[in-house]
Amino acid sequence: MNIQARTLAWKTLAAVCLALILPFGATAQAATPAPLPVSSLEQSSDTSSEDADSANAGSEDGAPKDPKGDVDPPIGDQMESLFKRLMDEPGVVLKEWVLEDGPRLIGNLLLFLLILFVSKIVGGWVGRITRGGLERSKLNASELFKNFVQNTVTKVIFFVGLIVALQTIGVNVAPLLAGVGVMGFVVGFALQDTLGNFAAGVMLLLYRPYDIGDVVTVTGETGSVEAMTLVSTTLLTPDNQRLTIPNGSIWGSTIRNITANDSRRIDQMFGIAYDDDIEKAEAVMLDVVNSMEHVQSDPGAQVMLMELADSSVNFNVRAWVPTSQYFGTVCELRRQMKMRFDKEGISFPFPQQDVHMHQVDPS
């Protein structure tokens, strides 16, 4: 690279850097006037009124003048002069900028990062305090509602901190907030289904048909509730599959909470042959179900004849067990009932039909 090309690249880089930093420097200079030396304070106080009178009387059209009596040049001329000097002496201009505005901008950047860090810490702390208040209150709020309130408080505080941090580096947040509002309106109109899921999520949080850890059946799917947002609910199936279901589909369908109550009733149908002793079968089934470990005594187990079917006499065995022991008790009850029937000589009949043959006289 020759000297001319190197000089042109250096001037271009300097122009880009100054163009990016110039708004911040202009904002700072407009916001914070340069301090006067201590020795000139008394003199400036004596001559301030005279300068003001001479400045007002010095121009017939009422244009303000600087203390020397010269009219301030337009901003366009200032920018043209600045860029001309930048192209002629890029090294000198950048050195002056680094010495004058560099420390201030670095300080603003550090303050920006500090405000973001503090807002994140404070948001998490206030969110945890809010969750603790909900847990100690008498509202009996669900885990889903507690998580929602905690996350909302944390994000709102961080957003406020972001707005304050942007203001520290000279960003005007009013147009930004207005743009976000307009964009939110457009996006909300385009994502009507998502807003429907959002509204359904709010209803699920308010009415609490299920909570985290509950086993539910929704939209034909069964699983434990692993997580929930305002848009969707995540289920973990018994075979370890993760299902994400929109809240709108859940709220518009039947919600079956399998583990909502502490106990559940077992209903199992067992059939015997028509030739078997009914009273003996009833006694055997009642003895088997009462011998189960997790069957509750109050209310007690029941054995009821429910149906005289085509091939069997069907009994319904009912018993109450803790919800956490339901599936294991059902499987063990079937196993114990089959073993006991075999031992007592009680049969499990197969479907059968009686076929009657009639011989026809060929004559």
| The predicted structure's pLDDT at residue 218 | 94
Buried b (16+ CB within 10 A) or exposed e, 206-221: eeebbbbebbbebeee
Strands 221-228 and 215-218: antiparallel
Q: Residues for the chain: how many in total?
A: 363
pLDDT string in tens for the chain (363-residue length): 455 555 555 555 555 444 444 444 444 444 444 444 434 434 444 444 445 444 444 444 444 444 444 555 565 565 566 666 667 666 666 666 666 666 777 777 888 888 888 888 988 898 888 888 877 877 667 677 777 788 888 888 888 888 888 887 777 777 777 776 766 666 655 555 677 788 888 888 888 899 888 999 999 999 999 988 888 999 999 999 999 999 999 998 999 999 999 999 999 999 999 999 999 999 999 999 999 999 998 889 999 999 998 889 999 999 999 999 999 999 999 999 999 999 999 988 877 677 878 777 776
The contacts of residue 238 (CB under 8 Å, 6+ apart) are 222, 223
User: Quick one: DSSP state of residue 40?
Assistant: G
> What CA–CA distances, in Å, run from 98 to 87, 91, 169?
17, 11, 17
CB 223 within 8 A of CB 253: no
Report how far residue 199's alpha carbon sits from residue 188's, in angstroms, rounded to the nearest whole number: 12
In 3D, which of 251, 248, 235, 145 has the Cα closest to residue 191? 248
- Measured N-to-C along each axis, helices 143-168 and 173-190 cross at an angle, to the nearest 10 degrees, of 140
Angle CA 233–239–240, to nearest 5: 50
User: Quick one: DSSP state of residue 74?
Assistant: P
In 3D, which of 242, 253, 224 has the Cα closest to residue 327? 224
CB 219 within 8 A of CB 179: no
Q: Which domains does the chain carry?
A: 106-190 (1.10.287), 195-257 (2.30.30.60), 263-344 (3.30.70.100)
Query: Dihedral of the CA atoms 244, 249, 250, 255 (nearest 10)?
Result: -120
